[in-house]
Copies of this chain bind each other. A is one copy, B any other.
């Protein structure tokens, strides 16, 4: 709290004109982050599963990169939420997972993907993509675009997409 106040250029007490307490601040940050994530994910259920998946992969990497601070908090501070708040955050996270799983199921039903357990595939892919935030720094060997391309290849392969396209 004191560190936040210093960063803002204000005394600690002033913060409490805007926040009831630290727990609520933490929860609001996470909730807003996840709701922004869900809002920004522009999935089109009518499109081809492969295109939907492509979009999801690149969107996830880019969105998490653009908000790496929020991502860091959302992952590291989970254990500091009250059980009620934790449940709400988990519900939002589950909605996001479900969005990816729906794409994977659609692709499997259409015969485009070959995967035996869509739930596992969903969790695996999200973990894989989110991992980028832990090591990526601008100015490294690869640009974010190149990284998106690499991960897209890995995801395609993981879901057994027939590799005929160039």
Contacts and interface: CB of A to CB of B under 8 A. Distances in A.
Nearest to A153: B116
A145 interface: no
Interface residues of A, number: 33
A121 B154 contact: yes
A132 B157 CA distance: 20
Given A127-B131, A128-B128, A120 B151 contact: yes
A25 interface: no
Contacts of A115: 153-154
A163 interface: yes
A18 interface: no
Given A124-B131, A127-B131, A127-B134, A155 B153 contact: no
A130 interface: yes
A160 interface: yes
5 contacts: A124-B151, A126-B131, A127-B134, A128-B128, A154-B158
